Homo-oligomer: A and B are copies of this chain.
Amino acid sequence: MNSSELTPSEIMDIAIKEARAALEEDEVPVGAVLLFKDGEIFRAHNRKEKENFFHHAEIIVLKNGLQNKGKENLRNSILYVTLEPCLMCLGAMIEARISGLVFGSYEEKFGGVELLQTLWKEGRYPHKFPFYGGFKKEECEEILKTFFLKKRKK
């Protein structure tokens, strides 16, 4: 899919749509979009229950991006995700050497962004990328709340 004319807000809306698709499949609703420099995007949602714990939305888009665009292009990609990534996904982003991260909700228990900043300050993990958290936060949080409310009712 080529979307060179999409704004960041429209890209996050696609990630949010992916999160909603996860919700309908009874998966923790997280959606991700990987945007390449040429405008091409890859989209996915969490499939942890259907597949396994390696299938976080971020890992799926990174894998698809890598397979289809190659690792050189990954270096100029920006990852959008509705929830703050976990350590595994942040580690994969460092390995992929992406050039930016935008996320929606903050994740207090499993989020790893703050920690990554600490590492960077200590001069570790030489590959740094800028990130922006809290983008379209309310919408992203709403979907997560709906999911956990549904779970509690069951």
Contact = CB atoms under 8 A, between A and B. Distances in A.
A127 B119 CA distance: 21
Interface in A84-142: 86-92, 94-96, 108-112, 115-116, 118-119, 124-126
Interface residues of A, number: 29
B96 A124 contact: no
Interface of A: 52-54, 59, 63, 66, 71, 86-92, 94-96, 108-112, 115-116, 118-119, 124-126
Given A54-B66, A88-B88, A109-B124, 10 more contacts: A53-B95, A87-B87, A87-B88, A87-B94, A87-B116, A88-B90, A109-B126, A112-B119, A115-B118, A118-B118
